[in-house]
Structure 1
């Protein structure tokens, strides 16, 4: 699958007029990320996706939303990894794959991850995203949970039958609250709802030789601010709140956070069928499953 993604990215890039002689894989997980050397361009090719994101049209719409949001953030002066200026600002389809093209950035390989420092910067990101003028879907990362749970199977040592049964029962409670803005605001009328990164931004702040840059806005969405720190744990949530107070920005609502933490766990659990293609996922799923089993049923919404 890696070679398929590399060849498709290189072919698409050459068709767009880029010089590509040595395409090099930088990263592989849900997407294959390819540096199209010697051009200062990186292609991101989604390859290992849950079922609901495999259809070409939804994937293209998702990619276009990301390009639009990141372009706007860059125009506002926010430090982001920008789309490449050498190609049109739109997804490109090649050999049945849809991909996007980004500016190559020089990552600081010696930098140690600083998740506390990154989390303390998320309120600043939220303050900028709050003004985004474009249209975003409501909590789009959660739209896969229902069909994912319907298809998920027992994997001994990872997910047991009682886990599957509980997750499906919880989703029956949570679905009407989390899949519509009206349902959510009925349950949490004072929640802070706005455009959010959608995919754990503290883990997607890249340290480059020129400073930190926000990246991977594939799941950008409309939702509560708590979604962007879902699953982080109390200490990182405290770091968010301290930074938000210092900037006069909204802090996290513990009741909303509890539900978002549970939703994040369910989102991770439905990735279990991808473990054969991505064995490294197993440890993360196991960690989230352990935390999830200790959470109140349905995040207390019973």
Structure 2
């Protein structure tokens, strides 16, 4: 496991890289401020109205080339939604909308927004905003991968947990592998999904719980964090929202001309999501807080029926 000192040093390197890259792009930086530090270090380049996202903990399967592709997609989608008038955190207008590599990190630059701390949005409210996002994303013309983030991340993460009973019990690992072998044929491609769930449409989606990635500001709520934008079923953006969230989404979907949630697809996507959480434990050596942070989800998965 990485030590606190090693993690602090990693954060300091990320901040230094963000400051250096920002200054080279002509941004005035005198007091950089770390706003967030988990999988990414989020740095405000004060006094300039620029925020830099520097990913520091990535899956082993994410190559530099794949990361660059994902970051370009994120920037492109956020910029496109902003041009359509959707309330979204946009790429910084002060620099080119392109990822920047510096000192081993690949980073993206975003506009600064003033957020309201400790805001708590009701799931029924956020589900309606997710429906509006889906309605806008239907027309996105760019190329997106189908359900990226499941394979090879899940099988590789489970492979790394082999021989790590401190992170996952061997019996749990065996169950996770068997569940993935059940789910993989249904989700491995758009063609496989269409065969498994005939008539269930797919489209561009946020890809990472958009209802939980809304930023509440004094001027309104903004969609954010399109790092995992992809093609897939709308259920992927609604996993674990519960009955209230699904009911609210369906009501909004009817008004917007979207299809309602398919309960079988939702159950399948949630099962895959639980396995993603299990596989995330493979990243705990680089981010020890995951052991405790993932424990509630792991306990729920362990107590749930086998997804066979």
Q: What is the deviation of 1:277?
A: 3.7
State which of 237, 252, 274 in structure 2 corresponds to 1:243.
Answer: 252
Match of 1:5 in 2: 14
Query: 2:201 — aligned with what?
Result: 192
Q: Where does 1:86-101 land on structure 2 (aligned, <5 Å)? A: 86-101=94-109
- SS of equivalent to 1:82: coil
Q: Aligned to 2:123, which of 107, 112, 115?
A: 115
Q: How does 1:1-302 map to 2 (within 5 A)?
A: 1-53=10-62, 55-109=63-117, 111-143=119-151, 144-153=153-162, 159-298=168-307, 302=308
Structure 1 residue ranges without an equivalent (≥5): none
TM-score, structure 2 as length reference: 0.91
Counterpart Cα distance in 2 of 1:206 and 1:168: 36
The structure whose RCO (Cα within 8 Å, separation 6+) is larger is 2
What TM-score results when the alignment is normalised by the length of structure 1?
0.93
Alignment partner, residue 5 of structure 2? none
Task: Give per-residue Cα distances to partners, 1:234-271, cap 9 Å, x unaligned.
Answer: 33223322322343421110000000001111111111
C-alpha separation in 1, matches of 2:268 and 2:201: 14
Deviation per CA, 1:71-130: give whole Å up to 9, x if none: 111111111000001111110000011000000000112633433311221111001011
CA-based RMSD of the aligned residues comes to 1.7
What is the alpha-carbon distance in structure 1 between the residues aligned to residue 162 and residue 40 of structure 2? Answer: 24
Unaligned runs of 5+ in 2: 1-9
Q: Per-residue deviation at 1:155?
A: 5.7
CA distance in 2, matches of 1:79, 1:57: 30
CA distance in 1, matches of 2:67, 2:306: 32
Give the stretch that moved more between structures: 289-298 or 66-75.
Answer: 289-298
